[in-house]
Amino acid sequence: MNTDPTSLFSLAPKRLQWLATRQNVVSENIANANISGYRAQDVQSFASYLEDTGRSQQLQEAEVVEAKVLSGATMTGNNVNLEEQLVEANSASGQFQMAASLYRKAHEMVYAVAGRR
């Protein structure tokens, strides 16, 4: 079995943690869409998250950064675009489901090969 740092069994938990943090940040953006002065947030890219977690054995949350939004801020200084945030939430949810499914299938495959199924 491949146990190097890019194997599915080391990459999938990191992807799931990153997606969970991203979903949390997006939900906070949606919740604060009417708060004056609130600035939309996002998480660091997955590639930079992998670099950061590659140095550590522990899973950690992704770094939260200010989001790059396409539209400008409203008169209240809030720059959250609900349509963009809903698309991001849907995307993160779909990616999470796919990553979790792949991780589960890989575990089932290992159990099948080991004769424990």
The 10s digit of each residue's pLDDT in 15-65 is 899 999 999 999 999 999 989 989 999 999 888 888 877 766 667 778 888
d(CA 94, CA 37): 30
pTM, two decimals, is 0.76
Domains of the chain, residue spans: 3-109
Residue range 56-106, pLDDT digits in tens? 666 777 888 887 776 666 667 788 888 899 999 999 999 999 999 988 888
Report the DSSP beta bridge partners of residue 66. 41
